[in-house]
Amino acid sequence: MNKILRYSVNLFVHPRFALQSLLDDPKRIGLGFIGPAFLAVVYLIGISTALAMKVEHLPQFPILKIPPEQYYAFERFYILPVGIAGMILCAGAIQLAAHLWKGRGQFEYLFALLGFSLIVVAIVIGIPDLVLAILAGIGVSIPIGWVLSGPHIWLGTLWYFVLTIFAVKEVEHLSWSKTIMLSLIGFIVNGVVQFIFIR
């Protein structure tokens, strides 16, 4: 547990060192599942709290054929598999593209780093969303802009993208320009998955 906490803190304080340390950890694959699991737990609590407190919030641009009033009741249970699927597709897309540039990384290493890094999303985006849900539930008026695109969302997304760049750099050992391009590819692939399922 101390090791997980240390890695998590270093994602904010010394991100490259955190990823290098995680890459050297023999349990890195298992640790890669902690990020999606933690994110899923945070949102399970947040959505369940909002539903229990009768916070009315309809999904924005829903793609799945789920009635809007039931959307979040279902979403809280598929966040974990969607999070894992997003990481698999992201790491896979990066790996395929990296092979064109003679990247030397392995899929499972990239998955481990990208997966564990989701802890940042859970802390920076998930926990504030949980707080906003509770505040809305007790009657505090929340600006709609904070719910849909508050600064915590932009900050968490940007920081996760930075971590994605560092992860690709550590695993593939390519130039910074190629690393950023690969990171964008993976980020877009994962973004499409999240856009479809997480509303």
Contact between 57 and 161 under an 8 Å Cβ cutoff? The reply is: no
Q: How many helices (H) and strands (E) does the chain have?
A: 11, 0
pTM check: above 0.75:
yes
CA–CA distances in Å: residue 55 to residues 73, 138, 139, 142: 12, 9, 9, 11
Contact between 31 and 116 under an 8 Å Cβ cutoff? The reply is: yes
Range of the domain at 151: 2-197
Residues 120, 143: Cα–Cα separation, whole Å: 24
Number of domains in the chain: 1
DSSP string, 22-36: HHH-TTHHHHHTHHH
Residues 87, 100: Cα–Cα separation, whole Å: 20
The residue to which tokens 């593209």 are assigned = 97
Entry field: residues in the chain: 199
Q: What is the pLDDT along the chain (199 residues), one digit of tens a residue?
A: 788 899 999 999 999 999 999 999 999 999 999 999 999 999 999 889 888 888 777 777 788 888 888 888 888 899 999 999 999 999 999 999 999 998 888 999 999 999 999 999 999 999 988 888 788 778 777 766 666 667 888 999 999 999 999 999 999 999 999 999 999 999 999 999 988 888 7
Question: How many CB atoms are located within 10 Å of the residue 172 CB?
Answer: 25
